[in-house]
Chain A
Amino acid sequence: MSEKRQGWPLWEVFVRSSRGLSHVHAGSLHAPDADMAVRNARDLYTRRNEGVSLWVVPSSSIITSDPDAKGQFFESPQGKDYRHATYYTKSEGVKHL
């Protein structure tokens, strides 16, 4: 019993409310395994909102974008109008576009 106590792994919880269209990240929790993670998520995130769908994902399975690379990674398409169809004028010969 001398080794350092190991905590439960972290899980991310996604909830779709009863009239919701998509699952939304609700928060995270610790659980020993996937079955318990779903049950804990039910207790922590759905008690007052019946008729929902729950997803749990081990946090370690989620790959995130690099926050330091924000500049290049999320650069807006402004100044690149040629990327949009509206940039181009319609050809005379195409009537029904």
Chain B
Amino acid sequence: MSESSASATRITPGNALRPEDIAASEATPTPDVAEYALWLGDDSLILAQRLGWWISRAPELEEDVALANIGLDLIGHARSFLTYAGHASGRTEDDLAYFRREPEFRSAHLFEQPNGDFARTIARQFVVSHYQWELYSRLMHSSDATLAGIAAKAVKEVDYHRDHGAQWILRLALGTDESRRRMEAGLKLTWPYVGELFTDSAPIDAAGDAAVRPSALRTPFDEAIGAVLAEAGLEVPQVPQAVGGGRAGRHSEHLGYLLAEMQVLAREHPGASW
């Protein structure tokens, strides 16, 4: 091992950075960067748990595999962010995923929304993947080398998620009358939770150049999704925004049930491995 191998400078946007690499590295985030990493990790973790529900339930076998692939990509991102965030407090990714209570989760409300039907899941995925692509394509230039490395790996996967979401928006919107009705309904149910993704708050200011300002992503996000929705002949839903509060640990009624299911095994058998 060279002397630089333990340093975060080894992690460059070109490398495929694995959670194991982060766990082995000495790189420790500042408290504000750790909080920011928790936001991003929790977003991906909660959505991956939602997508896992679809396994064996998707409309077609091929789509079952596609949703599972996306879920596993998101688990990978969550593991990296949570492992890094945990370095600030001496906790592992498993500590953070399975042994935190609901108010300690920092995910935005959109990620914990119910799957609903396939169209509602697609609407949520379409929004998330476009938001994450705008985020990660900037975060890969973060002043924090570990965040930059995680984003550089994630952005390629999220680019594929973006394509998957857009393709399905088009097919459902331009499909049958019923599929179009469901696509419109799915977007309408999703939209109240979009605003929270682009809200700045104190940890972002404190993290400085390590973080990407959420508010800076709004215009490119609107342009990108606007192009797809226009092609599909769909309108951006005009609905009031929900209150939000996920970044401060205030969640909707859905997260508690999700966590109970996700955490029950680890809490029942702490430290078990198989």
Residues of A at the B interface (CB closer than 8 Å) are 1, 8, 29-33, 35-36, 39-40, 43-44, 47
B66 contacts A40, C-beta separation under 8 Å: yes
Is B60 engaged at the interface, CB distance under 8 Å to the other chain?
Answer: yes
**CB-based contact B171/A36 at 8 Å:** yes
Chain B: minimal CB distance from A28 (Å): 11
Question: Which of chain A's residues have a CB closer than 8 A to the CB of B178?
Answer: 1
Q: Interface size for chain B: under 10, 10 to 19, 20 to 34, or 35 or more residues?
A: 10 to 19
* Residue numbers in B under 8 Å from A35 (CB-CB): 167
Q: Are B62 and A29 in contact (CB under 8 A)?
A: yes
Contact partners of A30 in chain B: CB under 8 A? 60-62
A39-B164 contact, Cβ under 8 Å, with A32-B171, A47-B69: yes
27 A/B residue pairs, CB under 8 Å, sorted by A: A1-B178, A8-B60, A29-B61, A29-B62, A30-B60, A30-B61, A30-B62, A31-B62, A32-B171, A33-B171, A35-B167, A36-B62, A36-B167, A36-B171, A39-B66, A39-B163, A39-B167, A40-B62, A40-B65, A40-B66, A43-B62, A43-B65, A43-B66, A43-B69, A44-B62, A44-B65, A47-B69
In the complex, how many angstroms separate the beta carbon of A33 from the nearest chain B beta carbon?
8
Residue among A1, A8, A36 with most chain B CB within 10 A: A36
Q: Helix, strand, loop or mixed for chain A's interface?
A: mixed
In the complex the two chains form, what is the Cα distance from A54 to B60 in whole Å? Answer: 21
Q: How far is the CA of A30 from the CA of B58 in the complex (A)?
A: 14
Q: Which residue of A lies closest to B163 (CB)?
A: A39
Find the A residue at minimum CB distance from B69.
A43
Residues of B within 8 A of A (CB): 60-62, 65-66, 69, 163-164, 167, 171, 178
19 more A-B contacts (CB under 8 A) besides A30-B61, A33-B171?
A8-B60, A29-B62, A30-B62, A31-B62, A32-B171, A36-B62, A36-B167, A36-B171, A39-B66, A39-B164, A39-B167, A40-B62, A40-B66, A43-B65, A43-B66, A43-B69, A44-B62, A44-B65, A47-B69
Residues of A within 8 A of B60 (CB): 8, 30
Distance (whole angstroms) from the CB of B89 to the closest CB of chain A: 35
> Which residues of chain B are near A1, meaning CB under 8 Å?
178
Output the nearest chain B residue to A40 by Cβ-Cβ distance: B62
Closest chain-B Cβ to A12's Cβ sits at a distance in Å of 14
In angstroms, Cα B67 to Cα A39, docked, is 12
Closest CB in chain A relative to B150 CB, distance in Å = 20
B174 CB → nearest A CB, Å: 11
Compute how far the CA of A37 lies from the CA of B171 in the bound complex, rounded to whole angstroms. 13
The interface centre, meaning the residue of A1, A39, A47 with most chain B CB atoms within 10 A of its CB, is A39
Which residues on B sit within 8 Å (CB–CB) of A29?
A: 61-62
Taking the nearest CB of chain B, how far is it from the CB of A38, in angstroms? 10
